[in-house]
Amino acid sequence: MVNDNKVVLITGASSGIGAALARYYTSKGFNTVIAARRSERLQKISAECASINFSVRAVTVKCDVTKQEDLDNVVNVARNNFGRLDTVIANAGFGVVGKFENLNLDDYKRQFEVNVWGVQNTVWASLDELKKTKGKLAIMGSGSSHFSLPGVSAYSMSKYSVRALAEALYFELMRYGISVTLICPGLVESEIRKVDNYGVYNPEAKEESELVSPMKTDKAARQIYSAIEKRKREVIITFHCKLLMFVNKYLPSVMSLLMKSYAKKL
Ligand X SMILES: NC(=O)c1ccc[n+]([C@@H]2O[C@H](COP(=O)([O-])OP(=O)(O)OC[C@H]3O[C@@H](n4cnc5c(N)ncnc54)[C@H](OP(=O)(O)O)[C@@H]3O)[C@@H](O)[C@H]2O)c1
Tell whether residue 24 is a contact of ligand X (CB under 6 A): no
CB closer to ligand X, 128 vs 210: 210
Q: How far apart are CA 140 and CA 122, in angstroms?
A: 12
Among 7, 8, 9, 17, binds ligand X (CB under 6 A): 17
Which residues does the annotation mark as catalytic?
A: 155
Cβ of residue 177: shortest distance to ligand X, in angstroms? 26
Tell whether residue 49 is a contact of ligand X (CB under 6 A): no
Among 5, 14, 179, 223, binds ligand X (CB under 6 A): 14
Q: Which residues, 113 to 152, sit near ligand X by CB under 6 A?
A: 114, 118, 140, 142
CB closer to ligand X, 65 vs 235: 65
- The C-alpha angle with vertex 184 and arms to 180 and 189, in degrees rounded to 5, equals 130
Among 5, 21, 26, 37, binds ligand X (CB under 6 A): 37
CB closer to ligand X, 15 vs 31: 15
Q: Which residues, 52 to 81, sit near ligand X by CB under 6 A?
A: 63-66
Phi-psi region of 139 (alpha: psi -120 to 50; beta: other; left: phi over 0): beta
Among 7, 22, 33, 36, binds ligand X (CB under 6 A): 36
CB closer to ligand X, 40 vs 101: 40
Dihedral sign, CA of 146, 216, 224, 122?
Answer: positive
CB closer to ligand X, 5 vs 93: 93
Cβ of residue 57: shortest distance to ligand X, in angstroms? 19
Cβ of residue 14: shortest distance to ligand X, in angstroms? 4
Q: Which residues, 202 to 261, sit near ligand X by CB under 6 A?
A: none
Q: How far apart are CA 138 and CA 173, in angstroms?
A: 12
Binding mask 177-196 for ligand X (x = CB under 6 A): --------x-xx-xxx--x-
CB closer to ligand X, 56 vs 89: 89
Tell whether residue 89 is a contact of ligand X (CB under 6 A): no
Per residue, the 3-state secondary structure of the chain, as one string, reads CCCCCCEEEEECCCCHHHHHHHHHHHHCCCEEEEEECCHHHHHHHHHHHHHHCCCCCEEEEECCCCCHHHHHHHHHHHHHHHCCCCEEEECCCCCCCCCHHHCCHHHHHHHHHHHCHHHHHHHHHHHHHHHHHCCEEEEECCHHHCCCCCCCHHHHHHHHHHHHHHHHHHHHHHHHCCEEEEEEECCECCCHHHECCCCCECCCCCCCCCCCCCECHHHHHHHHHHHHHCCCCEEEECHHHHHHHHHHHHCHHHHHHHHHHHHHCC
Among 53, 60, 87, 91, binds ligand X (CB under 6 A): 91
Report the interface residues with ligand X, using CB under 6 A: 11-18, 36-38, 41, 63-66, 91-94, 114, 118, 140, 142, 185, 187-188, 190-192, 195, 199, 201
